[in-house]
Structure 1
Amino acid sequence: MPTPQQARAQASAITSGKAAPEAEAAPVSQLRTLFDRQRLSPGHRRIAQYLIEHLPEGAFLSVTEIADRVGVSQPSVTRFAAAVGFSGYPALREKLQSIALGTFSGAADENRGNELQAAVDAEIENLENLRRDFADPDQVIDIGRELAASTPLTVLGLRISASLAEYFAYAARRIHPDVRLVTRGGSVAYDALLQSHAAGGSWVLAFSMPRHAQETLSAVKVARDAGLRVALVTDLALGAVADAADVTFATGTGSRLVFDSYAAPGLMAAALLQAMTDADPERTHGRLEEYDHISEQHQFFLRD
């Protein structure tokens, strides 16, 4: 077992391109696989991102040094090690050192691009998976028809999921006569859901992105208990919120950066909107024509 000084020297030689030809597996890919096993909090992702960007140096830092460089507490580093499946930081560091010393290749590192490019690559993969799911569009078409027929239609998105819900509700109001947006949890959400059902609504479209809010699960259960059916757009086909919904559309989220990105869930939302427009083309045409007239009359938008 080399001393830390010897290990650092060996790692330095590897990064300068002097490694043996047979040691050319990409360590960054190994780290991503290691860290992607569990859904990490934003703070833990900062640690993961630092280790990816500073391999092999980071593999030989102490828990105190990692905490100082990332700007987190020492317990956060220890919890991060546990979150990715290790008994503690020493066990994780041993794994990091084995990756840094055994598989690093300057050429592989060059080919992988930077972290922003890796984030784009991950989203491309999510979109490719969604494309395969759309090979059988029947469920999207069927739910789009149900959402179009539900009057009122409630759209639910709490905490970080609110942005997706707001996008969907904004567009849906152009083609649907009564869309009710719920972005506050607790009793406010409960009131809105109960009122929607009392007014004749039959469906709720809910968005639940990680980290999944307890309030979302509670609201979905209230909706179901009230007699509403729930279509859920989320990142996991399994889990408490998915189990509580009637229909689940699972799409991958980009998790390479500190905060998630939502290319695939955004496209899923757009696909459901398309299905709603196709479900009642006459109503869609009439409402869009009317909106174009009003927007032109009041100059909502800049002229091209």
Structure 2
Amino acid sequence: MGSESEKKDLISLIQGKFSKLSKGQKIIAQFILVNYDKAAFMTAAKLGETVGVSESTVVRFANALGYSGYPLLQKSLQELIKTKLTTVQRVEMSKEYSSDFAILKKVLKADIENIKGTLDEINPSSFESVINQLLSAKKIYIVGLRSSAAIGEYLSFYLNLILDNVVLVNYGISDVFEQILKVGKDDLVIGISLPRYSKRTFELLQYAKEQGAEIVSITDSHLSPIATLSDETLITRSNMASFVDSLVAPLSVANALIVAVGMRKKEEITRYFDKLEEIWKEYKIYDEK
């Protein structure tokens, strides 16, 4: 199990196997078919407790579907719902948290797992290639819309301090297509898109690709819409602990890009930041005690 087509057909798979399942397994199947959004974030023990069967019955149910264990079934469920849940459904999923501190623990643990997963999945040669492209591009366009705007702002702010040729494409006075209108074959476009994927981000990258620009995507899967357009893809986990998508791992990757570019331009940025420190001091940009 695990291909994209299998993930999309998970509900059909459960329906197809239903008649051959045991009585307890059928109870699980019926619950998942109706409440797959909630089941995707339950442990085997919690799912069993919810429907009134043992944890071992839940594990055998996963085996009956062709999975080697429940965690793989859970992962497929999470992939299935990632782009389909409405905000209302995500809020409904969050009602099981018992206290404020439980929320803190759950969210921080999920973010830790997202960073660990990103470290395992990101391709080192792709990362190095992106650094080379950042340094050789005539102009760099960063496209981050909706929730990805925070990552785009962060990446463009620091890259512009180092490279001075970065354009942030985001909603503002001018239309987003006007901001990327002059993109060409010597330019690099970095698209940031996480579930629920922004259709406009895909369209902007599609336009840039048609103009001959190099395309890099920061996204959560090689199967995400913008990854299909990209010359290089940096995979970052953004699995949600609740109704809010996690931006911790993609922000960490953006931070790594900035640091790596900075290390390649060490001498130039040392002179630049010396001058910048003088300006900050003269105009009292920061509090100094």
Query: What is the TM-score when the length of structure 1 is the normalising length?
Result: 0.64
Matched, 1:279 2:279: no
Residue 277 of structure 2 aligns to a residue in which SS?
Answer: helix
Distance 1:24 1:123, change over 3 A: same
1:253-289: CA deviation from partner (whole Å, max 9, x where unpaired): 1401211121100000011112211233232323222
* Alignment check: 8 A CA contact 1:175 1:288 kept: no
- Please list every run of 5 or more consecutive structure 1 residues that lacks an aligned counterpart in the other structure: 2-14, 16-21, 55-109
Deviation at 1:251, TM superposition (A): 0.8
Aligned partner of 1:45 in structure 2 is: 90
Distance 1:33 1:142, change over 3 A: closer
Distance 1:259 1:45 in 2: 8
Deviation at 1:226, TM superposition (A): 1.1
Aligned partner of 1:117 in structure 2 is: 105
Residue 272 of structure 2 aligns to a residue in which SS?
Answer: helix
1:246 alignment partner, one of 207, 213, 231 = 231
2:254 alignment partner, one of 260, 269, 273 = 269
2:188 alignment partner, one of 174, 183, 203 = 203
* Alignment check: 8 A CA contact 1:235 1:252 kept: yes
- Please list every run of 5 or more consecutive structure 2 residues that lacks an aligned counterpart in the other structure: 1-22, 24-45, 47-52, 59-69
1:182-231: CA deviation from partner (whole Å, max 9, x where unpaired): 1129x82222223243xx85101111122111101100001111111111
Aligned partner of 1:126 in structure 2 is: 114
Aligned partner of 2:240 in structure 1 is: 255
Aligned partner of 2:274 in structure 1 is: 289
Distance 1:266 1:257 in 2: 18
* Alignment check: 8 A CA contact 1:171 1:273 kept: yes
Distance 1:154 1:230 in 2: 10
Aligned partner of 2:158 in structure 1 is: 171
* Alignment check: 8 A CA contact 2:148 2:194 kept: yes
Matched, 1:150 2:137: yes
Residues paired across the two proteins, number: 222
Distance 1:211 1:283, change over 3 A: same
Distance 1:217 1:23 in 2: 44
Distance 1:280 1:149 in 2: 12
Distance 2:111 2:121 in 1: 15
Residue 227 of structure 1 aligns to a residue in which SS?
Answer: coil
Query: What is the TM-score when the length of structure 2 is the normalising length?
Result: 0.67
Greater Rg by CA: 1
Deviation at 1:149, TM superposition (A): 2.4
Aligned partner of 2:214 in structure 1 is: 229
The letter for the 2-side match of 1:156 is V
* Alignment check: 8 A CA contact 1:254 1:262 kept: no
Distance 2:265 2:234 in 1: 22
Distance 1:176 1:292 in 2: 18
* Alignment check: 8 A CA contact 1:156 1:205 kept: yes
* Alignment check: 8 A CA contact 2:162 2:265 kept: no
* Alignment check: 8 A CA contact 2:126 2:234 kept: no
Aligned partner of 2:148 in structure 1 is: 161
Distance 1:285 1:151, change over 3 A: farther
Deviation at 1:115, TM superposition (A): 3.6
Deviation at 1:33, TM superposition (A): 6.1
Distance 2:179 2:76 in 1: 42
Aligned partner of 1:69 in structure 2 is: none
The letter for the 2-side match of 1:44 is Q
Distance 1:190 1:119 in 2: 36
Percent identical among aligned pairs is 22
Deviation at 1:32, TM superposition (A): 7.0
Deviation at 1:42, TM superposition (A): 1.8
* Alignment check: 8 A CA contact 2:222 2:233 kept: yes
* Alignment check: 8 A CA contact 1:141 1:272 kept: no
Distance 1:149 1:282, change over 3 A: farther
Residue 151 of structure 1 aligns to a residue in which SS?
Answer: coil
Residue 190 of structure 2 aligns to a residue in which SS?
Answer: strand
Aligned partner of 1:95 in structure 2 is: none
Aligned partner of 1:303 in structure 2 is: 288
Distance 1:130 1:239, change over 3 A: closer
1:138 alignment partner, one of 97, 119, 125 = 125
